Structures are given as C-alpha cells and as structure tokens.
Amino acid sequence: MATSLSTPKLSTTLSSPALHTLLYKHKFSLLSLSNPIKPLHFNFLTHSRTTPSLSYTRRHFSAPRAESSNGADAPRHYDFDLFTIGAGSGGVRASRFASNFGASVAVCELPFSTISSDSTGGVGGTCVLRGCVPKKLLVYASKYSHEFEESCGFGWNYEVEPKFDWSTLIANKNAELQRLTGIYKNILKNAGVTLIEGRGKVVDPHTVDVDGKLYSAKNILISVGGRPFIPDIPGSEYAIDSDAALDLPTKPNKIAIVGGGYIALEFAGIFNGLKSEVHVFIRQKKVLRGFDEEIRDFVGEQMSLRGIEFHTEESPQAIIKSADGSLSLKTSRGTVEGFSHIMFATGRRPNTKNLGLETVGVKMTKNGAIEVTVFLSFFLICLNYSANVFLNDSFISKLLLQVDEYSRTSVPSIWAVGDVTDRINLTPVALMEGGALAKTIFADEPTKPDYRNVPAAVFSQPPIGQVGLMEEQAIKEFGDVDVYTANFRPLKATISGLPDRVFMKLIVCAKTSKVLGLHMCGDDAPEIVQGFAIAVKAGLTKADFDSTVGIHPTSAEEFVTMRTPTRKVRSSPSEGKAEHDIKAAAGV
C-alpha cells in the first residue's frame, strides 16, 4: 500500500517512478527512534542486471544481504535465486514469472488433501482445493432446486420430484480438484520450477529446511495463505469449518452456521439450496459487515425469503452433543437444538505457525500475519534538510506501520504475498502481488500492486458484485456525492412467480461526475460487475455511463439507464456533516 505522508512536498517526491526504483535499490538501516537526528548507516545493494527476456538461460541474481542482526550473512552461492514456501495462487504466479525472467526457482508444498492440516495441503492452495473453486461448484449444484421451482411458471412439470445425491457431487468435485492440482504442477514444471513435496521451515534468512533437507536461496517467498479459525468455546471439537463443509460424508439435515461474513452466506445458500434446514447466527444486527449498507439489508431480506433463518445479535457460547448425536448451540440469547452439523465461518488466520519466521526476525501482527516494513531511502535524509521535513519519532513510527509496497518483510531477503500478509485476501490480488514481486526482484522493474478499485463478489444466493467505494466511504472522502439506486423485479421472476428481486447502486462524485462505486445484488451480479469494473477502474463518469447504449432486456442495462439520483448528499460547511436531499429514483 502506498505510504501516506502529510507533507505535500515530500509526498510529491515519493510518488515519482524514479524514486520508487531508488527506494527498492538502496536500503538503509533506520535511525534510532530515541535519537531522530542520528546519521543513518548507508548499506547499498548491487543491481547491475538489464531487463531480461523470456529466452535467456538460467543465471544468478544479486540479492539483498541479510543484516547482521538477523544472525546470518548471505552466502556467496545459493541453490536457488528464489525459494517459495507454499504453492497457492500467489506463490505459483511469483515462481513461474521469476523462472520466466531467468531465475532458478524452487517451490515446496505439502501433499495433496481436500482438507488442510499441518501435514497436508496441495499444489493450487486454498482457492483451488478448498476455497473458491470447490465452493463455486457446490453453489452451481445448489442453484438447481431454485431453477426447478422457477421453471414451473414456464410450463415445466415434474411428475417425479428431482432427487439430489450428495456423494455424486462430492466425488465429481474431488475428481475436478485432482485434475486442477495436476494442471498447476504442470504449469510449474513447464516453467522450469523445481517442485519439492514437504513442509518448509525458514532456518535463517537464506536457508529453508524441507523435512530435514536444507536448501539455500538468495530470496525466500512466504505464500502459505491462511486457514479457518474456530473460537475456543466449550464443545468446539464438535464444530466443522469451511474445509470440512466442502468434503462432508453426508449432506447436513439441519445446520447452524456461525458467522455473518461472505463465507457464512455462501455456505448458507449452498445448504439451503440443497434442502437442508439452515440457521445463521451473527453477532451483529446485519450480515456482511464492511459491505455497503443497502446491499447488506437487501441480501439479508432476499435470503430470508428463500427460507434461511437468521439469528441476529447472538454470540456462540457452547456446543452440546446429545446422546443421539444431535448438536445444540448455546448462544447469548438461548439454546437451539437438533442440529446435525454446526459450522463456524468466523474468519481465517494467516498460516504462519511453525514456519520459523519469528526466529529469523520476521515481524508479524497479533493475528499471525506477516508485517512487511518500509525502508527509508537517502531521499528522505535529503528532504530532512532541503525541504525542512523533520524526521521525528512519530513520523518514522508512522512509516514503520505501513505495508511495504513491494511485499518485502522486515528481513530483506524474505518476501510475502497473498493471504499470509492479511491485506486484501482475494485470489486475483495474490496473483497480482506474485507477478509484481517477480518483476521487482528479477526484472529490474520495481512494481507495486495496485489495490485501487479491486472488484469483489459474494457467491451468496442471490450473489453480490461490487467495485469501488461504498457510499459511506465516498461521503467521507469526497463529501458531495449523488447516489443512484434501482430495486426491481427481474423479467424472469414475472413468470416464475417467485419473490426474486435485483438491487443496483451507483455512487457518483457530485463535483466531477466520476463513478466512485458500483454495487449489485441479484442473479449474475459477479459476471456483470466484472465488466463494469473496467469502467470504474478507468475513471469513467456518469455521463459516460449515460451515453452507453444498453443491452435489452437485461438487468445490466439498468446501470446505464439510471438518470435521477435517489439522493444527493452534500457537505454542510457550517457543521462539516452531510445532509441528504432525497429524491425518488426513476424506475424503482
């Protein structure tokens, strides 16, 4: 993430491409916080390479030397230029790109399993094996029940009710995962990357131990992702997490899902669609904290209409197992009995345990995420005198709290990408970070991942797609905004007779007409928003949207036909607060 600096002159200088290159190429040890004007010790790095093409032979790259405080100096020769621990999305991308840039690369990964543990994992990582891909396959399976119901209004009649077989779904899903992990292995093999099966542990800043065998590397990349978190309450041993929920031997008859985030909602939709009785327990008043408020309200209402029961403002306290094997969930408001399964979707934690990172000096946050530090360049020293920027204790402390723009940890030879850093925990973001890291280290092209306007989706039922700012964020950052919303019954629902609806929202800067945020909840929302994400990323205006011819009849066309703001939010000069001028939206 970009470092935020309060001094305009300094901030402008730091934004130049030339300085970003120098920030990467020249590292200095930080001055003592107790003496802010103590001279810095210069410690230059050597980078004499030219930008490589994809056709060159393997060669060794110069790399940052470890500081003496790390307990080990960098050796003169290494087994690999890059050693990656973890073959998930970010690790595979970084390793493949680095190899294409001419580096010698190795990746270590645990043996394949659909459920991760300290001894099992698999090439492909969370997304491919126990996240995005298998979850989406189960979403597809669960949607058929709703589609069968919809079809009746279109003339379809089923003399025998369709039957679902859980074991067939799981077997076919697992076969697909085996195919995908094989594809990922071939990707690494074809790129010339050495794949080592086993558990990796960092021994020193340039050495990795894989099940007793040592490998040296100029650079080490940590991309081990995260794993589900279950809180420690009485009876938690009876609970399952998202890994297990994707690989159950039998379909739940009645399931409690604890959590109100995207994982909880996605599994609630899956099991509800497969005709399980679903109860969702959340500590908040509404689901999806961190999403747009109107989207939160809308998806909760729609999922309730489909038969999911939400228990709001209830915190789990204990799980009780009865003699007949059924489970009861005790919460802050009472006890609900008769569950066949209780699933916790209460977040994920970085998978940094037993990697040896603390031993070699890699700084981590309280939840185990790798903390990546910012290194000061000599330009800051010059600015300290020429621009009268005083580098006091609080200023430097603020910099030290920022995430390094190039995914480097507090140990110069160790890097980290993906969920293990707990930045934006999305597969496409890990891919972006991995590619940027390979360019930074091996292509003489320091590259920062761009976290602006990252689109996201929730594969709930109905699904959600969003890109850009939420309304609250836009008001805080820009003050004056126009909000356009549409809440309508889609064409398909007019004949199906079902209560399905679609909600769409545009947030526009009133001063510039730039579209700041775009949100949708309804059928095909993720597919639709992926296309509109390009428009938001490109900084298009509401006029650009208005001048675009829609495709009719579609739900997507509503984004280019909303003309009248639902409300106008204007900053109040006297109070510094926002007042709302609410108007009816056209077509609602």
Q: Could you tell me which residues are annotated as the binding site for FAD?
A: 136, 200, 419
- The DSSP code sequence of 22-87 is HHHHEEEPPPPTT-TTSPPPEEE----PPPP-TTPPP-----PPPPGGGT-PPPS--SEEEEEE--
Dihedral (CA of 412, 206, 350, 461) sign: positive
Instruction: List residues forming the annotated binding site.
Output: 136, 200, 259-266, 347, 419
Q: Are 288 and 265 in contact (CB under 8 A)?
A: yes
- The DSSP code sequence of 389-454 is ----HHHHHHHHTSPPTT-B-SSTTEEE-GGGG-SS--HHHHHHHHHHHHHHHHSS-------TT-
Which of 490, 496, 540 lies closest to 520 in space, CA to CA?
490
Whether 552 is catalytic: yes
C-alpha angle with apex 286: 280 to 289, nearest 5 degrees? 105
* Residues forming a β-bridge with 468: 517
Q: Strand 207-210 relative to strand 200-204: parallel, antiparallel, unpaired?
A: antiparallel
Structure tokens at 186: 């071939």
Longest dimension (CA), the chain: 85
What is the Cα–Cα distance from 415 to 413, expressed in whole angstroms?
A: 7
What residues contact residue 20 under an 8 Å CB cut-off, 6+ apart? 405, 446, 448
Q: Are 352 and 420 in contact (CB under 8 A)?
A: yes
What is the Cα–Cα distance from 307 to 588, expressed in whole angstroms?
A: 25
What is the Cα–Cα distance from 75 to 93, expressed in whole angstroms?
A: 27
What is the Cα–Cα distance from 288 to 266, expressed in whole angstroms?
A: 11
Tokens 């799980």 correspond to 319
Tell me 458's DSSP state. Answer: E
What is the Cα–Cα distance from 278 to 472, expressed in whole angstroms?
A: 31
What is the Cα–Cα distance from 380 to 228, expressed in whole angstroms?
A: 41
Catalytic, out of 20, 146, 341, 552: 552
Which of 224, 228, 201 lies closest to 88 in space, CA to CA?
224
* Residues forming a β-bridge with 569: 481, 580
Helices (H) and strands (E) in the chain, counts: 17, 25
Q: Are 105 and 80 in contact (CB under 8 A)?
A: yes
* Residues forming a β-bridge with 352: none
What is the Cα–Cα distance from 100 to 53, expressed in whole angstroms?
A: 8
Give the catalytic positions in this structure: 552
